[in-house]
Chains A and B, each alone.
Chain A
Amino acid sequence: MQNISASTRNRDLVMLGIFTAVVLTAPLWGGLIGAGYPDLLQKFAIFGLFAVGYNILFGLTGYLSFGHAAFLGIGSYTTVWSFKLLSMNALPAVMFSVIMAGLFSLVIGFLSLRRTGIYFSILTLAFAQMSYNLAYSVLTPITNGETGLRVLNDDPRVIDNALGIQIEGSPLGTLFGMELTGWNGFYFCAVMLILGFWLSIKIFRSPFGLKLVAIKSNQTRMSYTGFNTQPYLLSAFVISGMYAGLAGSLMAIVDPLAGAERMQWTASGEVVLMTILGGLGTLIGPILGAATIKYFENIFSAINEQVLQNAFSFLPDWLNSFFVFITNPFVGEGWHLTLGALFMLVVIFLPGGLMQGVSHLSRMIKGKGSADADKGDA
């Protein structure tokens, strides 16, 4: 017994170690798959974090929220305001964003969790669209409406001014003077992702996490077993909202700008896709899903008709134009068609997401290996 639990705990440490190594060396191996530049890797980390948090709600409790982009947007706006009013330092910005997203998710979660199932989903969607419309038009003095909120040179920045920090050129998020763009920006996001992943492992392995899974399995039974499920669900909702706020904050840190479109329901839908695509309720799945979607988005949306014509140029003219005609709707602006097809394939053939594929593969490899490996695993 003791040995088993000790060894699974070690396995978590090994997983966290490998994860940390993979994330921090991403600039090295990213080049091999054509992802070796900071903008894309930042996106991997930021959306990975968003999905890891979302998975704590959706993956553990089974409550499908369609409104988490609202917290993403709130995180971004808070960060830009922290940049404008206080300091270009990223740490207070991150802190305020997480707190603010936490407060909003407390209110929205409290109200939405009065209902379950589809009604819960619709309520979160309604709240998120309200937030979007507020940000887009009603609250223009705070959000700067459709232009988006940006940091200006003549913003007050009370703390920076008190410390005598002057800004030349366009203001950028910093960490005690180090500008958080490019690779620095990526490493800042990467550290946050690793911390977020660590916290997610902790939650998964805690009695709290086990109770969340039990709620997903049979909520009625939980209440006859002596649990008030409401505060459990609300905690999970707020935690995932805070992750979203952190992700939104990071977006605004690496690119000091916040716009209302970040809160639109399509953005909420995207994180649902990421989580399911990667593997709902698994630890690494959501990050894998986020990276996969952002990776393919990057590849397919960059392709245009010209690129296709070149790609098929070895074919005779009429075949060339035929293939270009067929494939053109799937690339560029239309890359969501590709995403849809990919998503359908995964859901149909790997209902457990990409992680199911990974475990199939590892079992196949182990099966070919010695039988001792299986014994060791059991």
Chain B
Amino acid sequence: MSNILDISNVNKTFGGLHALSDINLKVEEGTIHAIIGPNGAGKSTLLNCCIGRLIPDTGTVTFNGHNMVGMNPYDINHAGMVRVFQTPEIFADLTLHQNVMIPALSKRDGTFKFNPFADIRAEKDIQEQARQVLEDIGLGPLADHHAGNISRGDKRRLELAMGLIQHPKLLLLDEPTAGMARHDTNKTIELLQKIKERGMTKIIIEHDMHVVFSLADRISVLAQGRIIATGSPEEIKVDPRVKEAYLGEETEE
């Protein structure tokens, strides 16, 4: 299988802080690649460099054969790399159904379409797609609620639905289960496994080892802005550097 994402030699500094140092990361198409690491390791910075929120100081982010560095966030989205945010970035004034329709419209209309005479209620395809995705993710009954009024866990799931409806080639998940109850976490894992079968590549940043080891095909460990190990879950579990930097602390708890 080919690499859908190839991050090479990416550096990013904020003032004196070296947030990312010489990051090299290849993600194979159709896999789930987990990035783990302690807080402040640079995981979210790395994702931000991928989707155009930050521009790396050096290096390239090659997605599907094209360098994404310096491209507009909306063009990166249409290239097929979509991020699900850690803190829910939803449209609080809209209903859940509308929240999911927006990314579906983006997929159909592109970066800009002026259609003031079309009727949103006549867009049966988009309406139906949005209902279906909400159904799949278990938010069906809340479809007509305002997104600002739902629980935090539900907002996280709505985030996920907004990413999934675009059928991206690569989905970047930033701690998709953080703040969820165990029951919801398991449901989310189940859902992500289901989507895995459809062949959508995913990068997943996660603290919850239960989630990581039940989903990931490969794991990269990030510590202090460097990738210290990459390998299969089994390899990572026994890697002494990883234990020292990360898992060791975790198991003491």
Q: Which residues of A contact B (CB under 8 A)?
A: 1, 5, 8-9, 199, 202-203, 205-211, 213-214, 216-218, 220-228, 231-232, 235, 239
Q: Which residues of A contact B11 (CB under 8 A)?
A: none
Which of B115, B121, B122, B127 is most buried by chain A, counting CB atoms within 10 A of its CB? B121
Which of A223, A224, A239 is most buried by chain B, counting CB atoms within 10 A of its CB? A224
Say whether A224 contacts B89, CB under 8 Å: yes
- The residue on B at minimum CB distance from A203 is B116
Expressed in whole angstroms, the minimum distance between the Cβ of A280 and any Cβ of chain B is 12
**B residues contacting the other copy or chain, number (CB 8 A):** 41
Which of B77, B93, B102, B107 is most buried by chain A, counting CB atoms within 10 A of its CB? B102
- Using A218-B89, A226-B77 as known contacts, list a sample of 20 further A-B pairs with CB atoms less than 8 Å apart, ordered by residue number in A: A1-B127, A5-B121, A5-B127, A203-B116, A205-B119, A206-B116, A210-B101, A210-B105, A214-B102, A217-B91, A218-B92, A223-B74, A224-B51, A224-B77, A225-B103, A225-B106, A226-B106, A227-B74, A228-B72, A231-B114
Say whether A206 contacts B117, CB under 8 Å: yes
Expressed in whole angstroms, the minimum distance between the Cβ of A375 and any Cβ of chain B is 16
Q: How many contacting A-B pairs (Cβ < 8 A)?
A: 106
Say whether B74 contacts A208, CB under 8 Å: no
User: Could you list 5 A-B pairs, sorted by A, with CB under 8 Å?
Assistant: A8-B121, A213-B94, A218-B92, A222-B102, A226-B74
- The residue on B at minimum CB distance from A200 is B116
Q: Which residues of A contact B89 (CB under 8 A)?
A: 218, 220-221, 224
Separation of A213 and B74 alpha carbons in the complex (Å) = 18
Separation of A218 and B116 alpha carbons in the complex (Å) = 21
Say whether A210 contacts B92, CB under 8 Å: no
Separation of A158 and B78 alpha carbons in the complex (Å) = 53
Separation of A372 and B94 alpha carbons in the complex (Å) = 27
* CB contact under 8 A between A202 and B112, given known A8-B121, A216-B93, A217-B91: no
- The residue on B at minimum CB distance from A8 is B121
Separation of A207 and B117 alpha carbons in the complex (Å) = 9
Say whether A226 contacts B123, CB under 8 Å: no
7 closest A-B pairs by CB: A226-B106, A226-B77, A5-B121, A217-B91, A228-B111, A221-B89, A217-B93
- The residue on A at minimum CB distance from B111 is A228
Q: Which residues of B contact A214 (CB under 8 A)?
A: 91, 94, 98, 102
Say whether B90 contacts A207, CB under 8 Å: no
Expressed in whole angstroms, the minimum distance between the Cβ of B56 and any Cβ of chain A is 17
- The residue on A at minimum CB distance from B166 is A226
Expressed in whole angstroms, the minimum distance between the Cβ of B88 and any Cβ of chain A is 10
Separation of A214 and B89 alpha carbons in the complex (Å) = 11
Separation of A203 and B166 alpha carbons in the complex (Å) = 25
Q: Which residues of A contact B51 (CB under 8 A)?
A: 224
Separation of A211 and B85 alpha carbons in the complex (Å) = 20
Which of A199, A227, A231 is most buried by chain B, counting CB atoms within 10 A of its CB? A227
Q: Which residues of B contact A223 (CB under 8 A)?
A: 72-74
Residue in B77, B92, B115, B162 whose CB lies within 8 Å of A206: B115
Say whether B92 contacts A9, CB under 8 Å: no
Q: Which residues of B contact A1 (CB under 8 A)?
A: 127
Expressed in whole angstroms, the minimum distance between the Cβ of A242 and any Cβ of chain B is 12
Say whether A207 contacts B115, CB under 8 Å: yes
B83 at the interface (CB under 8 A from A): yes
B118 at the interface (CB under 8 A from A): yes
Separation of A203 and B116 alpha carbons in the complex (Å) = 5
Expressed in whole angstroms, the minimum distance between the Cβ of A54 and any Cβ of chain B is 16
B194 at the interface (CB under 8 A from A): no
Q: Which residues of A contact B105 (CB under 8 A)?
A: 207, 210-211
B109 at the interface (CB under 8 A from A): yes
List which B63-107 residues lie within 8 A (CB) of chain A: 72-74, 77-78, 83, 85, 89-94, 98, 101-103, 105-107
Residue in A203, A216, A224 whose CB lies within 8 Å of B73: A224
Say whether A207 contacts B91, CB under 8 Å: no
Q: Which residues of B contact A224 (CB under 8 A)?
A: 51, 53, 73-74, 77, 83, 85, 89
Separation of A85 and B162 alpha carbons in the complex (Å) = 56
Q: Which residues of A contact B127 (CB under 8 A)?
A: 1, 5
- The residue on A at minimum CB distance from B123 is A207
Say whether A235 contacts B114, CB under 8 Å: yes
Separation of A35 and B73 alpha carbons in the complex (Å) = 53
